[in-house]
Amino acid sequence: MADRYSKEIALVYAKDDVLRHFSVPRFKLSKLELDMPVLVSAVEVSSLIKFQMPRDAFRISILNKLTDFVTLVRAAKPGGNPDPVKGADGPRPIRSDGIEPSIDAFFDRLVALRDLSRPEELIASNWNEISTKMLAINDIPIESAKTKPVSDLIARTLPPVIEMIKANLSVPKNTIDRLQINPQTNVVKDGSTDTSVFTIKAELIEEGVIVKSLKDDKTGAVSPVVEFE
C-alpha cells in the first residue's frame, strides 16, 4: 500500500519542473521481525537404508545358496545328460573356483546403493548373473540357463536370497526432507497440538526503491523506471 502511494507521488513529482529533482518520500521498513505460529500439516521423510551384513558372512550365505542351486540343476538333468551328477569316479563335487569375485561384486553393489527400499530388481539381476556363472564353473552348458527348467530354478531360488538380504537391511538415518505447513490462524488455533505447531522466527529486510525517468535519445520518449537497491 505504501509503495502504491509512493508511485502516485513519484508521478506527481515527475510532472513538476522543481519537484522532479527531489527524492520521492517513501515509507521504508529497514527490518521487520515476525514470530509466526504455523501448523505442520504433513511431513516428508526419507530414510537411508543400508546393507549391514559382513562381507565374509555374505560370501558364505550366497555360496551355500549357489551350491543348493547347482544341486537342483544337476537333479533336473538339463541338456538331456544321462547322469550329470556322477563322473567316472562317482559323484562330482560342486566347484566354486572363480565365483568369489562375482559374489564380492554383488556385495559391493548392495553396499554402494544409497536407497535399498526396493532392492528386488538389483538382487534378481545379480543372482541371475552369478547363478549362470556357477553353471559354467560346474561344466553345465550356459545355454541350459535359458531353458525353462533351469530358468524356473533360478526364479525359485531367488526369494530366499531376497529374504536373506532384506533381513540384513537397517535404517541408520531418517531425514526430514520437507515440512508442509498451514499458517491460517483459525486452523492453527483449532487443529493444533503441542507437537504439531512450531513458531517461525522471520526477519524481513526492505532495502528501498528508486523511481527514475529515462529519456530515449533517439525518440525523445520519457519513461519511468523503478530500480531496487
Would 147 be classed as within a structural domain?
yes
> Do 60 and 123 share a domain, yes or no?
yes
Under the banding of pLDDT at 50, 70 and 90, the label for residue 99 is very high
Domain end among 114, 147, 167: 167
Cα–Cα distance list, 214 to 14, 164, 219 (Å): 11, 74, 12
Residue 5 lies in a domain: yes
Q: What mean pLDDT value characterizes the chain?
A: 79
Which residues does 209 contact at the CB level (< 8 Å), separation at least 6? 3, 6, 26, 226, 227, 228, 229
Q: pTM here?
A: 0.55
Q: Report if residue 191 sits inside a domain.
A: no
Residue with more model confidence, 204 or 181: 181
8-state DSSP, 179: E
Total of domains in the chain: 2
Domain hosting 222: range is 1-31+208-229
Q: Is residue 154 part of a domain?
A: yes
Higher pLDDT, 88 or 225: 225
> Which grid cell is 202?
522471520
Amino acid letter for position 214: L
> Do the domain assignments include residue 176?
no
Higher pLDDT, 104 or 33: 104
Q: What is the mean pLDDT of residues 45-70?
A: 90
Residue 68: name the closest of 170, 156, 143 by CA: 156
The model's confidence at residue 3, banded by pLDDT at 50, 70 and 90, is confident
Q: Are residues 89 and 158 in the same domain?
A: yes
Q: Same structural domain for residues 158 and 216?
A: no
Q: What are residue 38's DSSP bridge partners? A: 198
Let me know whether 57 and 134 are in one domain.
yes
- Do both 162 and 218 map to the same domain? no
pLDDT in tens, 175-192: 777 777 776 666 666 766
